[in-house]
Structure 1
Amino acid sequence: MACQLPADCLYEIFEYLEESETSLFGCLLVNRSWCVVAVRILWRNIWRFLKYFTIQNQFKNETIILNTLISCLPNESKELLQKIIPTFTSKTPMFNYAGFCRVLSIQDIGRIIDNVLEPSIDSIGSSINSLSIKYRNNLIAREIIKNFLRQISSLRRLNYCVDNYSILNNISFIGTNNCLTNLTELHCSSSIKSDLSQICHNLQSLSIKFKENVSNDLKDLISLQKNLKNLKLFFYGTNDWKDIIPTLTKSTNTLITLHIYSYYCKDLSLSFIASFLNLQEIILGFEGINLEDFKELQNIFFPKLQILRIPYQCFKLEYLINFLKKNGKNLKELHIDGGNKNLNLYIAKFCPNLKKLSIILSNKLILKTIFMSCQYLESIKIWWVGRKSEMKIFKTILKHSPKNFCELKIFNNSQSKLSPKDLKYFFIDWKDRIPFTLIVIKGYYNSLEANRKNMKIIKKYKKLGVIKNFEIKEFYEEEIDIF
């Protein structure tokens, strides 16, 4: 008889496969024991798999998910919905899928319902004629959400960004089996109308999309938080958001990460950031604006700051240099979305303890200077704008990189000229160092992987253990994950 691992052992093993959707889906098909364990992990956050759907299979997979969600409803809900969506199954599901969830996305529920039911409006029958499409979809969504909240024992993350589904903006969470008592992460809109403030006082992460005025419900929710550590603010165009700053600054002692993103929002003040002196991570992302306001932050010292990502093109160089002069020594990670020769030299001068760095580079001598000054550097992401072969980078890495350096991410804005011969010699010389990680970021031009001989060399030295990891990423995959 074959050895059967106990469920708790399988669970520990499958935990490592959580980020690999293909492997986990394969585990569903092995046997009943494997299926029982794998399905629990998959459904903890079923929404994250939506991003893997291609245009060709999106409708099919979203239909399966919607069918499953409806099949989990209690009989009274099924009877109600059967009158308006008779084409959907009412079979009893194999598992209580809703009870496995630890992440609930109201936004994705609304979007799936819209996507799946919209093409079948004409085929549903005359029973829908007396109902508006919006009312029908809202009714379905509310029944599904109500069932989730009834079945989930403890929710850890809630996505309540319903800009496109404002009809879902006033869901009551009171009396929902206490599943939100220990909620730690919330994504919501600035106009949220909800009684969450009466339940959720232990949020650690809060993400807010500003598209309308700030609601009093959101202000109440923020003011009642006891241990808010992570804050994301996302602005579109012109927003009336300044009145929320007094509420935000009540968390000055607990906040350790702050992310701010803005698209063409010209009236955006950053001076309030100076209140959060315990920040360990600041990420700023802006498009279409030029912020003079950073002048107010250039001389502020953040004693615990270790990670900084900032768009070079939005600030005057002197402000950024002054900021690095004050804070650069403590930085462990620095990501500059832009830059020039002078800025790179100041990075080498003021940021000696960096472990990770992302810059635009066109000169191998600047890279040498950075390596010589930043002796703790382990990883660098280079947006290479040189016309000559990127082998200049590889040779500089061999000769001058610190002993713990082991990772290169490279984006080339021209056709790759890296030869298999040069790549081979690089890995031969690297064999006695820490195994190398190479990540190629693809843009409009062919990168080094376009040459089959290059890929053979990479495969060979990966087997030999010289290469720890090799990845090819599309440019958009390197964009900041906002929500």
Structure 2
Amino acid sequence: MPFQPLPIECISHIFESFQDNKNLYTCLLVNRFWCRIAIPILYKTPFTRNQERNKSQRSKIISTYLSCLSNEEKIHLMKNSNNKILIPLNNNQLFDYPVYLEEFCNLSLQDMIIHWIILMIKQDFSIEQRKIFHLINNILYPLLISKSKNLLYLNLINVNSNNDNNNNNHFHFDIPDIFTFFAFTPGLTNITRLDFKLYKNNSNLLLNIINLFDIIPSLCKNIQLINFNSKLSFNDNDNRITLRKALCGIIRNQRDLKKLYLRFKGETLNNIIMPTLELQSINLTHLYFKKLRLNDDVMDSLANFLSLKVLGFESCYIITTSDNQDRYDNNNLITNNSNFQLEKLYLVENMSRHMISDIKCLIIRYFSISLQELILDELNFDIVKIISNFCSKIKRLILLATEYESIDLYNLLINLKYLKNLTLWYVNDHTIKVLGNYLPNTLLHLSFIHFICLPFNDFLKDCNIPLESIEIFNLIMNSNNSNSSDHFKPISDYIKIHYNHLKVIYFGKNCDISNEDLEEIKDYVNVKLIDNYDHFPSKFN
């Protein structure tokens, strides 16, 4: 039977699934047909897809983009660089590479240009090279923005690099004149994701970035995801006002905004931003607030966000009004809306100086009716009571508390009859012995972030539930008088006893475990090494 080639759609889907570029570069050399499929995949996300390559390799894309310039533009660039940059003329490219661009990041482009200059000129980045940088920067922006017909993701970043040892960061570059972004069609009009990160204190050096953000409300109507992260100084009030107004304009003008990650250091949510968010209450499914000041009345506003699936409060300062304080003192909690759909709630990095326990109880109670997953940084009697009474059907609990009474944990676990996934930030040696007595029978996955392992201690003694997986991100051997195998023996003994239902055990790459100990348990269970645990998001994807 003759070979039937796969349809283009199938091959493209396979190529898209490759996690690194090495396989794609290999595919380029197979034949022209495969090359035509692989090139658009490689060049639609050149600023994010090439992270596994070193900076010198990544910077070579600048040569590719410069080769797409017209002869006039090439001559202009070479002349103004005193011929330190040489670009072949009349070399027609097989592909118009900028056309495929779907994701643009100003900081990644800046880094690639800097390293390309260093690679080509064979010198460290200096004042003279800075001039060349601006020449290339000012000619590549129009090239990329004018030719990309399907730009979906705009990532504007400037971080404060005062603590960065990279010499390249002695220079802080603004983007070119913002005319570039609205002079071409479609330009930014089709973007569906906007990331904005402004950390640098001297924002006067970044006026074009701020001015671009200010005009985005008039350019973009289809953004579905916004990650906004600003740490501007309180002394920079004019630019803070500009950013705040622009952010409200962007939120207000979107047709179908789904996700918003909002970090605006020291900003008060209620007075300005919250009324704007309410205009998107029908559409928003994800809201995450970080380092914001807000009144507890925000709960009343959020109750109207009936499509909300994920809600987070990280390091937020919640101001309690005197009227609402009576609600907490009398435990007169608000009855939650039966139409509310919240599934995941973060209450993290909100210790007593930010958010008192009573407010945490109110938030949990308020959004409990549909809650499936809770990420929490504190545990006490009142919180246990609220969770047990109002959201006992949660399926995943991540407890990030470092200090709590063991009895509170035990009382909570025996009331969570539907729990399938449990993560504990810290457990002491006593807790790890008796924890198995309190774990619900529904539990399938158990995770420890910091686990201090003592030699010959019992690990999950009397634990008879059919766990399918265990994770230990940071295993610490806490004794100088015995070897690592003595510490690891309780864990290996547990695995050997429960191998019939335990399918996999994960260890963090920094765990203090010998290769011999790992090899010993591989006959009983699948062993996987994993990266460090990210317990709450830095942005939405």
TM category (shorter chain) comes to: 0.7 to 0.9
2:301 paired with 1:275 = yes
Tell me if the contact between 1:427 and 1:461 (Cα under 8 Å) persists in the aligned partners. yes
Output one character per residue of 1:302-328: Cα deviation in whole Å (capped at 9) or x when no partner: 622211111241311121112222322
Bigger drift between 306-315 and 114-123 goes to: 114-123
How far apart are 1:116 and its partner, in Å?
4.6
In structure 2, what is the equivalent of residue 188 of structure 1? Answer: 196
How far, CA to CA, are the matches of 1:105 and 1:139 in structure 2?
18
How far, CA to CA, are the matches of 1:382 and 1:375 in structure 2?
18
How far apart are 1:2 and its partner, in Å?
8.1
How far, CA to CA, are the matches of 1:230 and 1:381 in structure 2?
25
Higher helix share: 1
In structure 2, what is the equivalent of residue 109 of structure 1? Answer: 109
In structure 1, what is the equivalent of residue 347 of structure 2? Answer: 310
How far, CA to CA, are the matches of 1:333 and 1:7 in structure 2?
40
How far, CA to CA, are the matches of 2:25 and 2:413 in structure 1?
44
In structure 1, what is the equivalent of residue 537 of structure 2? Answer: 480
How far, CA to CA, are the matches of 2:511 and 2:124 in structure 1?
50
**SS of alignment partner, residue 14 of structure 1:** helix
How far, CA to CA, are the matches of 2:13 and 2:341 in structure 1?
35
Distance 1:271-1:46 versus aligned 2 partners, 3 A rule: farther
Tell me if the contact between 1:43 and 1:100 (Cα under 8 Å) persists in the aligned partners. yes
In structure 1, what is the equivalent of residue 491 of structure 2? Answer: 422
Amino acid at match of 2:301: S
With the length of structure 2 as denominator, give the TM-score of the two structures.
0.70
2:134 paired with 1:76 = no
Distance 1:49-1:427 versus aligned 2 partners, 3 A rule: farther
In structure 1, what is the equivalent of residue 319 of structure 2? Answer: 292
Bigger drift between 228-237 and 365-374 goes to: 365-374
How far apart are 1:237 and its partner, in Å?
5.5
How far apart are 1:108 and its partner, in Å?
2.1
How far apart are 1:383 and its partner, in Å?
0.8
In structure 2, what is the equivalent of residue 205 of structure 1? Answer: 225
How far, CA to CA, are the matches of 1:479 and 1:325 in structure 2?
21
Distance 1:39-1:62 versus aligned 2 partners, 3 A rule: same
Tell me if the contact between 2:347 and 2:360 (Cα under 8 Å) persists in the aligned partners. no
Distance 1:38-1:192 versus aligned 2 partners, 3 A rule: same
Tell me if the contact between 1:324 and 1:347 (Cα under 8 Å) persists in the aligned partners. yes
Bigger drift between 276-285 and 369-378 goes to: 369-378
In structure 2, what is the equivalent of residue 226 of structure 1? Answer: 255
Output one character per residue of 1:62-84: Cα deviation in whole Å (capped at 9) or x when no partner: 42232233233343333332234
How far apart are 1:331 and its partner, in Å?
0.9
Tell me if the contact between 1:214 and 1:244 (Cα under 8 Å) persists in the aligned partners. no
Amino acid at match of 1:187: D
In structure 1, what is the equivalent of residue 12 of structure 2? Answer: 11
With the length of structure 1 as denominator, give the TM-score of the two structures.
0.77
Output one character per residue of 1:349-380: Cα deviation in whole Å (capped at 9) or x when no partner: 43222222210467776555444432332322
In structure 1, what is the equivalent of residue 85 of structure 2? Answer: 87
**SS of alignment partner, residue 259 of structure 1:** strand
Tell me if the contact between 2:375 and 2:398 (Cα under 8 Å) persists in the aligned partners. yes
Select the residue among 418, 422, 425 that pairs with 1:376.
Answer: 418
Q: Which has the larger radius of gyration?
A: 2
How far, CA to CA, are the matches of 1:72 and 1:29 in structure 2?
21
Tell me if the contact between 1:113 and 1:137 (Cα under 8 Å) persists in the aligned partners. yes
In structure 1, what is the equivalent of residue 38 of structure 2? Answer: 38
How far, CA to CA, are the matches of 2:68 and 2:301 in structure 1?
47
**SS of alignment partner, residue 382 of structure 1:** strand
**SS of alignment partner, residue 376 of structure 1:** coil
Select the residue among 153, 170, 173 that pairs with 2:178.
Answer: 170
2:387 paired with 1:358 = no
Structure 2 residue ranges without an equivalent (≥5): 160-171, 199-209, 233-238, 453-475, 479-486
In structure 2, what is the equivalent of residue 334 of structure 1? Answer: 374
How far, CA to CA, are the matches of 1:382 and 1:208 in structure 2?
30
Q: Alignment identity in percent?
A: 21
Tell me if the contact between 1:269 and 1:293 (Cα under 8 Å) persists in the aligned partners. yes
Tell me if the contact between 1:213 and 1:240 (Cα under 8 Å) persists in the aligned partners. no
Structure 1 residue ranges without an equivalent (≥5): none
In structure 2, what is the equivalent of residue 347 of structure 1? Answer: 387
**SS of alignment partner, residue 183 of structure 1:** coil
Tell me if the contact between 1:439 and 1:470 (Cα under 8 Å) persists in the aligned partners. yes
How far, CA to CA, are the matches of 1:125 and 1:420 in structure 2?
54
How far, CA to CA, are the matches of 1:213 and 1:146 in structure 2?
28
How far apart are 1:117 and its partner, in Å?
3.8
Distance 1:282-1:125 versus aligned 2 partners, 3 A rule: closer
How far, CA to CA, are the matches of 1:293 and 1:74 in structure 2?
62
Distance 1:249-1:290 versus aligned 2 partners, 3 A rule: closer
How far, CA to CA, are the matches of 1:114 and 1:273 in structure 2?
47
How far, CA to CA, are the matches of 1:95 and 1:391 in structure 2?
63
**SS of alignment partner, residue 48 of structure 2:** helix
In structure 1, what is the equivalent of residue 511 of structure 2? Answer: 447
How far, CA to CA, are the matches of 2:296 and 2:136 in structure 1?
42
How far, CA to CA, are the matches of 1:241 and 1:145 in structure 2?
38
